[in-house]
Structure 1
Amino acid sequence: MINVIRAIRLSLVLALILGLGYPLLITGVGHLLFPRQAEGSMISDHGRIVGSTLIAQSVTSPGLFHPRPSAVNYAANGSGGSNLGPTNPALVKEVESNLKATGLRGSQVPPDMVESSGSGLDPDISLANAYAQVPRISKATGVPEAKLQSLVQTSAVGRFLGIWGEPYVNVLQLNMAMQSLEKAK
Structure 2
Amino acid sequence: MSETEEEISADRVVETLEILLRAPPFLRSPKLARFLRFVVEEELAGRGATVKAYTIATQALGRNPDFDPSLDPSVRVEAGRLRRALDDAYAQHAAGLEVRITVPVGGYRPRFGALAAAAIVPEATTETEPEDPFPMVATERPHAVVVGFSPRGQAAVIALLAGILLVLCIDLGLTVSTRMTSGSAGSGDIAVRGR
TM over 0.5: no
TM bin, normalised by shorter chain, reads under 0.3
Give the TM-score of the pair, scaled to structure 1.
Answer: 0.25
Larger radius of gyration: 2
